[in-house]
């Protein structure tokens, strides 16, 4: 159960949202079909015995070459962040009340959505200011403090008892890197079992046997992590987890919000089998988990749980609590409350805050923060069982950089000020909201 | 006269020059000796102190090398000095320190120790060896060998060519810790402000350098240097070299990874052991180096970590590369140099009177990314401490080492077995990998 669920009337799917969602679905599906037409491949194709006999490396090279050729032809990302952004701001609500418009005239989301107030979400803000003591200590010169040692020992003891509620209370003060894997599994309610390993092995078997049309955009995404200084060493792991993910038939029933997929009318089966078209940036969401464990099936189990419970919401157009829509609305509302002058200034120079914050939200900041900070942020998602900490950080970054932002005269200036966020996280976590 | 700081640099390395410019220092010509601050090559420093030149440094002149740093930075001399140091430790019965300083792969100097090496070679038939020029760098002239015939052939060639160059042959560490299936080594910066008393700091912005080719754990292919040598100079020429990150990975990330995959105690021990390596290596040469108060030195340590998380010292560089291959690399090197300059300069520099106390006399200097390894000055000042050593870090490290060794013995590894008097290490069988298994259950048990 989400700790910060909205009031009942706010979580009812509004009609406008339902319409927008349907339009978006049509667009994604059309994109998928176009992509497949360009590829000239079936949706799924069983590899021939001859292909399978080829050397792994040779096949990887061949696949990369094919991908480059496709990219040259202008391969489409079926679920690109920019398209999602356009779809989001297209949503209009004819019934917007005068009161609402007066209260918040400048936001891009022209829909009266019930967003939890900052005081209701005190804990989201607390989540950012609490517990950073033990998360950013990686190379602390003086070594861990007594508090950190005690916190670590307490966590270890709780993990041994299996008391999830107590563990959650503990985790709200931060999770030491060395307990993160076990703590996340416990908090995401993944039962440790040999079946997880078997399941992953079976999926890798399908990766080997089946060539999917949807692998192409996914591979482009995976290859981008090969250029990332934080993740290039984990390329093989990221590739295995991503390709296994789209083939996982057990996912659709686990998704917290329905994803967009094709449905085979005869069998009712979804394509891709995971029930959700992977959003641009999926590989970068997997990548940070490479720091949790070097066992690929362990990483897969954590990612599967984290994605179905939380991350899927980040690219979902839905009116339910904690969808992309409500998170974006929360960002705009909170920023306008906290610093209306800043929000108005950015909007006036053609750089509405949500435009800059949107990629942060959709990706849950993955690829925008170095891994240590990103994992510390995601610790809070897992511990509080809520995504509101993501827009809370986005607002924190804007207020932290407010003085520079107020001097900006163009969207390019704003992009420049917000281009490197690595110094923001620790500063934001110390802000007292 | 212009009261601005005058500085000099041998190779106009961008990160050094930008640091000087940021401080509004005036860069003087190559033949100008009126500098206050000199970032030069090792040989430039030697010339500066050459008695024949008869040039004496003024109180407000500072240079980035000790005149005889080669006692530590030439491969053969480093080995000689550390072996001697360890012999002394053993004689004095300081066994904890003796064990904690066992971080050099067994090494012999060629041609002088050729026969000693042959004996050792015969004792350890399973070991592979790596042969390097004693004064070389950038991975040039290095080869890996398993069969003695290779070395004989090579020796004959050298003799035929009349070469008098010294070489070293070292035990090849064939069980490196792999991440993503690749070998890496660490480049870590240590700043020495003085040798007597010993004052050493470690910078947090070190990095790992990865091979582009995967490491073959089944058979050792001595020809494929792309999987064995981590030098950027070598890796740059590989097909897979990626110029976006240059195969470099931050020390912070490495620590995060080790904490996540090997646990908190293991990560702590690894980093304490790395500090201990620097402490012992510097201690080994502190009495032979001319500790001059005009000098400081920022060394680049090359450290290899094996799959039991034991760090090995490969080499110490007196002039670690300051050319930057990527944007991050530029930031790292710029920051290191900036922090070095802050730590080094006396308060009031370049005023002559203010500089009397020499390098590192500003005890309030901002440390930036540096953290303390040892400061005998402070240790001596502390009430009740008669002898300035061992420093806190090494004492703590050696107890940790002992504890970890006890642990590693129970895992069936022989890594912690005390080695023979010459500081050699018996070849050990590869322990079953603890982390790369595909069963997470094993990790959770
Ligand atoms: N004993 C060893 N066992 C395993 N690998 C080694 C060993 N010694 C060296 N290497 C590998 O070979 C590389 C080159 O060695 P080394 O640094 O001694 O040579 P170099 O030519 O002096 O390089 P540079 O001065 O540019 O660092 C190291 O970076 C390391 O990857």
B180 Rama sector, left if φ>0, alpha if ψ -120 to 50, beta otherwise: left
B208 membership: H or E segment, kind and range: strand B207-210
Distance to chain B for A43, nearest Cα, Å = 30
Q: What percent of chain A has pLDDT over 90?
A: 48
pLDDT of residue B203: 97
Quick check: A200 pLDDT over 70?
yes
Residue A397 lies in a domain: yes
pLDDT of residue B142: 87
Residue A339 lies in a domain: yes
pLDDT of residue B379: 79
pLDDT of residue A128: 61
Binding site membership of B374 for ligand 1 (Cβ less than 6 Å): no
Quick check: A333 pLDDT over 70?
yes
pLDDT of residue A138: 41
Binding site membership of B229 for ligand 1 (Cβ less than 6 Å): yes
B242–A201: do the CB atoms touch at under 8 Å?
A: no
Token pair for A42? 């079936």
The whole-number average pLDDT for the span B29-56 is 83
Distance to chain B for A292, nearest Cα, Å = 5
Residue scoring higher pLDDT (B76 or A141) = B76
Instruction: Tell me what the pLDDT averaged over chain B comes to.
Output: 83
Quick check: A254 pLDDT over 50?
yes
pLDDT of residue A106: 56
Contacts of B204 in chain A (CB under 8 A): 139, 141
pLDDT of residue B152: 85
CA of A113 to the centre of ligand 1 (A): 61
Q: Does B328 touch chain A (CB under 8 A)?
A: yes
Per-residue pLDDT tens over the stretch B356-397: 999 999 999 999 999 999 999 887 776 655 444 444 444 444
Tell me which residue has tokens 């100079």: B233
Tell me which residue has tokens 């760090």: B311
Strands B6-9 and B26-27: parallel
Residue scoring higher pLDDT (B135 or B254) = B254
- Whole-model pTM: value is 0.88
Binding site membership of B132 for ligand 1 (Cβ less than 6 Å): yes
DSSP letter for each residue of A343-379: HHHHHHTT--HHHHHHHHHHTTTTTTS-HHHHHHHHH
Quick check: B267 pLDDT over 50?
yes
CA of A240 to the centre of ligand 1 (A): 32
Contacts of B252 in chain A (CB under 8 A): 138-139, 370, 372
The whole-number average pLDDT for the span A404-425 is 91
Contacts of B263 in chain A (CB under 8 A): 178
pLDDT of residue B229: 86
Quick check: A154 pLDDT over 90?
yes
pLDDT bracket for residue A119 (50, 70, 90): low
Contacts of A162 in chain B (CB under 8 A): none
Residue of A nearest to B205 (CA): A139
pLDDT of residue A75: 66
CA of B139 to the centre of ligand 1 (A): 7
Quick check: B241 pLDDT over 60?
yes
pLDDT bracket for residue B66 (50, 70, 90): very high
Residue A322 lies in a domain: yes
pLDDT of residue B146: 86
Residue A414 lies in a domain: yes
Quick check: B234 pLDDT over 80?
no
pLDDT of residue A125: 59
A229–B248: do the CB atoms touch at under 8 Å?
A: yes
Quick check: B428 pLDDT over 50?
no
Q: Is A328 within 8 Å of A318 (Cβ atoms)?
A: no
Quick check: A2 pLDDT over 50?
no
Token pair for A338? 């906290």
Q: Is B186 within 8 Å of B112 (Cβ atoms)?
A: no
Q: Find the radius of gyration of the CA atoms of chain A.
A: 22
Binding site membership of B304 for ligand 1 (Cβ less than 6 Å): yes
Per-residue pLDDT tens over the stretch B317-340: 999 999 888 999 999 999 999 999
Contacts of B264 in chain A (CB under 8 A): 152, 176-179
Residue scoring higher pLDDT (B343 or A86) = B343
Q: Does B260 touch chain A (CB under 8 A)?
A: yes
Task: List, in order, residues 6 or more apart from B338 with CB less than 8 Å away.
Answer: B19, B22, B368
The whole-number average pLDDT for the span B214-218 is 87
Per-residue pLDDT tens over the stretch A295-319: 999 999 999 999 999 999 999 888 7
Beta bridge partners of B171: B129
**Position in ligand 1 atom list of the atom nearest CA B173:** 3
Residue A69 lies in a domain: no
Tell me the three state secondary structure of residue B199: strand
pLDDT bracket for residue A122 (50, 70, 90): low
Distance to chain B for A152, nearest Cα, Å = 9
pLDDT of residue A123: 58
Residue A392 lies in a domain: yes
pLDDT of residue B380: 78
Ligand 1, atom 29, lies closest to the CA of: B230
Partner-chain residue, chosen from B242, B255, B439, that has the shortest CB–CB distance to A295: B439
Strands B311-317 and B297-305: antiparallel
pLDDT of residue A173: 83
Name the domain count of chain A.
Answer: 1
pLDDT of residue A49: 85
Ligand 1, atom 12, lies closest to the CA of: B229
Domain with residue A365: its CATH number is: 1.10.472.80
CA of B314 to the centre of ligand 1 (A): 6
pLDDT of residue A137: 42
Binding site membership of B247 for ligand 1 (Cβ less than 6 Å): no
pLDDT of residue B184: 97
pLDDT bracket for residue A110 (50, 70, 90): low
Tell me which residue has tokens 């890996």: B144
pLDDT of residue B364: 92
Question: Which of A142-151, A424-433, B72-81, B161-170 is the most confident on average?
Answer: B72-81
Ligand 1, atom 20, lies closest to the CA of: B137
Q: What percent of chain B has pLDDT over 70?
A: 83
Binding site membership of B172 for ligand 1 (Cβ less than 6 Å): yes
State which residues form the domain around A375: 318-379+386-428
Residue A257 lies in a domain: no
pLDDT of residue B159: 79
- In B90-180, the DSSP E strands lie at 107-110, 129-133, 143-145, 167-171
- In 3D space, the residue among A374, A44, A66 whose CA is nearest the CA of residue A230 turns out to be A374
pLDDT of residue A93: 52
Per-residue pLDDT tens over the stretch A11-66: 344 777 888 889 999 999 998 888 888 878 888 888 888 888 877 777 777 777 77
Residue A340 lies in a domain: yes
Distance to chain B for A170, nearest Cα, Å = 18
Quick check: A127 pLDDT over 60?
no
Residue scoring higher pLDDT (B231 or A111) = B231
**Position in ligand 1 atom list of the atom nearest CA B171:** 1
Contacts of A378 in chain B (CB under 8 A): none
Residue of A nearest to B369 (CA): A141
């Amino acid at each position: 159960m989400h700790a910060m669920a909205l009031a009942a009337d706010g979580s009812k799917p509004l009609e406008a949202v339902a319409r927008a969602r349907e339009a978006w679905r049509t667009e994604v599906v059309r994109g998928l079909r176009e992509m497949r037409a360009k590829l000239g491949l079936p949706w799924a194709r069983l590899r021939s015995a001859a292909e399978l006999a080829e050397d792994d490396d040779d096949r990887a090279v061949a696949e990369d070459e094919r991908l480059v050729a496709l990219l040259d032809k202008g391969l489409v990302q079926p679920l690109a962040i920019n398209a999602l952004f356009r779809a989001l701001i297209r949503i209009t609500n004819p019934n917007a009340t005068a009161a609402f418009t007066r209260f918040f005239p400048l936001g891009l989301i022209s829909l009266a959505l019930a967003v939890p107030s900052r005081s209701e979400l005190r804990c989201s803000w607390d989540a950012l200011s609490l517990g950073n003591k033990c998360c950013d200590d990686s190379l602390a010169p003086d070594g861990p403090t007594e508090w950190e040692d005690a916190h670590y020992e307490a966590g270890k003891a709780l993990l041994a008892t299996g008391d999830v509620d107590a563990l959650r209370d503990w985790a709200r003060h931060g999770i030491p890197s060395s307990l993160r894997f076990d703590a996340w599994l416990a908090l995401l309610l993944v039962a440790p079992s040999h079946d997880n390993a078997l399941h992953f092995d079976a999926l890798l078997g399908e990766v080997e046997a089946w060539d999917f049309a949807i692998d192409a955009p996914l591979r482009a995404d995976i290859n981008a992590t090969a250029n990332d200084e934080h993740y290039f060493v984990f390329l093989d792991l990221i590739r295995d987890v991503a390709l296994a993910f789209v083939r996982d038939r057990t996912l659709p029933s686990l998704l917290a919000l329905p994803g967009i997929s094709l449905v085979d009318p005869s069998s009712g089966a979804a394509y891709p089998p995971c029930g959700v078209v992977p959003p641009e940036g999926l590989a970068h969401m997997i990548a940070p988990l490479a720091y949790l464990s070097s066992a690929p099936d362990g990483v897969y189990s954590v990612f599967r749980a984290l994605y179905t419970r939380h991350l899927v919401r980040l690219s979902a157009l839905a009116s339910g609590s904690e969808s992309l829509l409500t998170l974006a609305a929360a960002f705009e509302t909170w920023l306008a409350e906290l610093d209306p002058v800043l929000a108005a200034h950015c909007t006036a120079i053609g750089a509405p805050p949500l435009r800059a914050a949107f990629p942060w939200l959709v990706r849950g900041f993955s690829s925008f923060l170095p891994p240590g900070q990103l994992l510390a942020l995601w610790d809070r998602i897992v511990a509080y069982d809520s995504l509101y900490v993501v827009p809370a950080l986005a607002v924190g970054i804007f207020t932290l950089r407010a003085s520079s932002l107020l001097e900006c005269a163009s969207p390019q200036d704003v992009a420049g000020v917000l281009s490197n966020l690595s110094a923001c996280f620790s500063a934001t976590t110390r802000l007292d909201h | 006269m212009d009261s601005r700081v005058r500085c000099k640099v041998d190779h106009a390395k961008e990160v050094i020059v930008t640091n000087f410019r940021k401080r509004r220092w005036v860069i003087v010509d190559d033949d100008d000796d009126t500098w206050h601050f000199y970032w030069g090559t090792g040989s430039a420093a030697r010339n500066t102190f050459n008695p024949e030149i008869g040039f004496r440094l003024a109180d407000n002149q500072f240079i980035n090398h000790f005149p005889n740093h080669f006692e530590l930075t030439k491969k053969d001399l480093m080995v000689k000095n550390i072996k001697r140091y360890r012999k002394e430790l053993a004689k004095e019965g300081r066994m904890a320190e003796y064990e904690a300083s066992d971080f050099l792969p067994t090494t012999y100097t060629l041609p002088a120790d050729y026969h000693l090496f042959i004996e050792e070679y015969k004792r350890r038939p399973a070991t592979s060896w790596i042969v390097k020029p004693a004064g070389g760098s950038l991975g040039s002239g290095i080869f890996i060998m398993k069969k003695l015939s290779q070395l004989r052939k090579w020796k004959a060639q050298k003799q035929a060519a009349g070469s008098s160059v010294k070489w070293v042959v070292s035990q090849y560490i064939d069980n490196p810790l792999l991440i993503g299936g690749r070998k890496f080594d660490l480049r870590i910066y240590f700043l020495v402000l003085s040798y007597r008393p010993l004052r050493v700091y470690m910078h947090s912005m070190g990095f790992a350098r990865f091979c582009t080719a995967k490491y073959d754990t089944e058979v050792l292919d001595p020809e494929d240097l792309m999987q064995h040598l981590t030098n950027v100079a070598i890796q740059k020429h590989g097909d897979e070299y990626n110029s976006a990150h240059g195969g470099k990975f931050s020390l912070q990330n490495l620590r995060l990874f080790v904490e996540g995959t090997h646990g908190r105690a293991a990560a702590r021990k690894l980093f304490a052991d790395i500090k201990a390596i620097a402490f012992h290596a510097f201690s080994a040469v502190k009495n032979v180096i001319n500790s001059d108060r005009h000098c400081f030195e920022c060394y680049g340590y090359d450290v290899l970590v094996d799959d039991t998380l034991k760090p090995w010292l490969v080499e110490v560089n007196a002039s670690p590369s300051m050319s930057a291959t990527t944007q991050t690399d530029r930031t790292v090197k710029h920051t290191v140099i900036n922090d070095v300059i802050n730590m080094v300069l006396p308060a009031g520099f370049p005023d002559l009177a203010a500089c009397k106390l020499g390098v590192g006399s500003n005890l309030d200097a901002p440390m930036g990314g540096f953290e303390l390894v040892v400061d005998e000055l402070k240790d001596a000042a502390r009430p009740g401490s008669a002898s300035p050593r061992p420093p806190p870090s090494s004492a703590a490290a050696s107890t940790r080492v002992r504890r970890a060794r006890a642990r590693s013995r129970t895992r069936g590894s022989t890594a912690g077995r005390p080695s023979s008097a010459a500081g050699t290490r018996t070849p050990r069988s590869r322990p079953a990998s603890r982390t790369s298994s595909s069963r997470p259950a094993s990790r959770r048990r």
